[in-house]
Structure 1
Amino acid sequence: MAHYFVGDIQGCYDELMRLLDKVKFDPTQDVLCPVGDLVARGPASEKVAKLMLELGHAVEPVLGNHDLHLLSIYAGLFKDKKNDKLKKLVQSPMVSDYAKWLRTQPLIRYYPEFNIIVSHAGTHPFVPLETQMELADQARQKLASKDYKIWLERMYGNEPRKWRSHLTEEEAFRFIVNTTTRMRFIDDDGALDFETKQPPSQAPLNLSPWFELKPKTTTPTPIHVFGHWAALLGKTDDSNFIGLDTGCVWGNKLTIYKAETKEFFVQQSLP
C-alpha cells in the first residue's frame, strides 16, 4: 500500500492519468491524496470528477478554493464563468453525486504514520494546530449538512484576517476556510493577506509566506503538504513544507509525492 499526494489537478485529466501510470497506482491497494483544486481552469474537469467518484475509498482529498467555488455554483450562488471551464461538469448528470461527495471532504487531513498534515493552502503558524483541526472538522460538518447552502453563502469575505478566541461561529468558519484554502502570505501582525500572489522574493517587506513563520511550540513540527501556490513551483527551502502545486494547468507540471519512499514524480503539462 502506498500514499500518493498529488498537487492541484484542476481538470488536467490526461496528465493525472499518465502520472498514475508512471507510479503504477493500484486503487485496490494504494491511496491517492489530492491537495485540493481537483477541478476548474483545466480542459477536463468532468473526467477528473468521474474518476474521483470511481476511486471510492482509494481517494482522500482535501477541499481547495476551486472545489468550494464549484459547490457554490452547484448551489446556485454563482454562474460558472468561461475561464472556470466547468460547463461540462455543471451540466453533467453526475454533478449531484459529485457535489454530494465533495461536501463530505475535509479541509485538513492528518496522516499520523507519516506525521503529515495536508491542507490546500496551509495552516496558520500562530494558531494551535489542534484548534485548526477542530475548526476544520466543524466546517466539514456544516458543509455536509442540509444547511450547506447557507454556510457556502456565509463563507465569502476576507474578515476576520486574524484568529481570536471570541469569534462568532460564522467568523470562525470563514477564518478556517480562508486559512486552509486561500492563504499565502501573513503580515507582521499575524493577519492573512489575500492580495499578494507573486513569489516570496517579490512580496512587500511586511509579508511573509505562512510556511516561513515558525510556531512557538516545543512539539515536533509535522510535515505540511499543500498546494494552491503555483508561483512557488513547489519550492519552500524547508523539507518540512512540501508544496505540490507546480502549475500543470498553467503549462508547467503535475507532481506526486509518495509518502512511503519520500519520492517525487512529475508529468509535464500536455499541449
Structure 2
Amino acid sequence: MSTYAIGDIQGCLEPLKRLLDRVNFDPAADRLWIAGDLINRGPSSRATLEFLYPMRDRLISVLGNHDLHLLAVARGHRQPNTKDTIEEILGDDNHPEWIEWLRTLPLLHHDPALGYVMVHAGIPPQWDLERAKAHAREVEAVLQSNQLDDFLAHMYGNEPSVWKNKLYGVERQRVITNYFTRMRFCTPEGELDLQSKGDATTPPPGFAPWFAHRKHKCREHKIIFGHWAALAGEATAGNVYALDTGCVWGGTLTALRLEDEQRFECDCSV
C-alpha cells in the first residue's frame, strides 16, 4: 500500500486521472491525500466531485479557500465571481450531498504513523502542532454545526491580521481560517499579508514565507501544503513539501508518495 498526496486539483480532472494512472494508483489498496482546493477555476469542477465523492472513505482532503468559497455560495452567502467554475456543481442534483461532505473535511490532517501534517496554505510560525490542531478543530466544529451559516456570512476579510488569544467569535474563526487556507507571507509573530502572491523571493518588507521563519514551532514536523502556485513546488525550508504546481494555470499536477518522498508530475497544458 502507498499513500499519495496531491496538490491543488481545482477542477482539473483529466490531469488528475493521468497522474493516478502514472503512479498505478489502486483505490482498493492505496490511499489518496489532497491538499485542498478540489474545485474551481478549472474546466471540470462538477466532474471532479463526481469522481472523488465515491472514493471519500479512502481519501483524505483538507479544505482549501476555493472549497470554502463553494460552501459560501451554495449556502447563499456569496455570489460566484466571473472566474468561478462552480455553477455547474450547484446545478447538479447531487450537489447537496457534495456540500455536506465538504463541510465534514478538516483544515488540518496529522498522521503520526506516517509522520506528516497536511494543510492547504500553512501553519503560522507561532503555533506548535498541538495548538494548530486545537485551533483547526475549533473551526471544523463550527462548519459541522448549526453555526455554519453565521460563520460563512462573516468568513471573508483580511482582519484581524494576526492571532491574539483574546479573540473570540467570528473574528477568531476568520483569522484561524485565513492561516490555514489563505496564508503565504507573514511576520515571525504571525501577522498576515494576504495581498502579496508572488514567489518566496519577493516578500513584502518585514515579512517572509510562513515556512521560512527560523523559530517556526512546527519546524520538526513534515508539512504538506498547496495553495501557493508561484512557488512551483519549491519551498526553501526543510520538512516542507509544496505541492501546488499550478495545474489550473497550465503547469503540472504533482503527487508525493509519502513512504519514500518520491514526486510524480503530470503535464496540465494538454
Q: Same fold (TM over 0.5)?
A: yes
| In 1: Cα distance, 2:132 partner to 2:172 partner | 10
Query: 2:188·2:213 contact (CA, 8 Å) conserved in 1?
Result: no
Q: Which residue of 1 aligns with 2:10?
A: 10
Please state how far the C-alpha of 1:146 moved relative to its aligned partner. 2.5
Secondary structure at the aligned position of 1:88 is classed as helix
1:170 is aligned to: 170
Percent identity between matched residues is 37
Name 1:254's counterpart in structure 2.
253
Greater mean alpha carbon deviation, residues 187-196 or residues 36-45: 187-196
For normalisation by structure 2, the TM-score amounts to 0.96
* Greater mean alpha carbon deviation, residues 112-121 or residues 150-159: 150-159
Query: For residues 95-244 of structure 1, what are the structure 2 equivalents within 5 Å?
Result: 95-187=95-187, 189-215=189-215, 221-244=220-243
Deviates more, 1:28-37 or 1:152-161: 152-161
Quote the Cα distance in structure 2 between the aligned partners of 1:65 and 1:262.
26
Q: Which runs of 5+ in 1 are unaligned?
A: none
SS of residue paired to 1:28: coil
TM-fit CA distance, 1:160: 1.6
Q: 3-state DSSP class of the match of 1:205? A: coil
SS at match of 2:15: helix
Q: State whether residues 219 and 239 of structure 2, in contact with CA within 8 Å, keep that contact through their aligned partners in structure 1.
A: no
- The answer to which of 86-95 and 164-173 deviates more is 164-173
Q: Which amino acid aligns with 1:233?
A: A
Does the C-alpha gap of structure 1 residues 188 and 59 become closer, same or farther in structure 2, counting only changes over 3 Å? closer
- AA aligned to 1:246 is T
State the secondary structure of the residue aligned to 1:265: strand
Shift of 1:220: 6.4
Which residue is 1:29 aligned to?
29
* CA shift in 2, pair 1:220/1:270, >3 Å: closer
Q: 2: distance between equivalents of 1:112 and 1:144?
A: 24
Structure 2 gaps of 5+ residues are none
Deviations 1:211-266 (A, max 9, x none): 0013365x861011000000000111333110000000000000000101211000
Give the TM-score normalised by the residue count of structure 1: 0.95
Distance in 2, matches of 1:189 and 1:269, equals: 37
Q: Distance in 1 between matches of 2:8 and 2:53?
A: 17
1:38 — aligned with what?
38
How many residue pairs align between the two structures? 270
C-alpha RMSD of matched pairs (Å): 1.5
Letter of the structure 2 residue corresponding to residue 206 of structure 1: G
Which has the higher mean CA deviation after the structures are superposed, 244-253 or 73-82? 73-82
Relative distance call for 1:129 and 1:161 in structure 2 (3 A) is farther
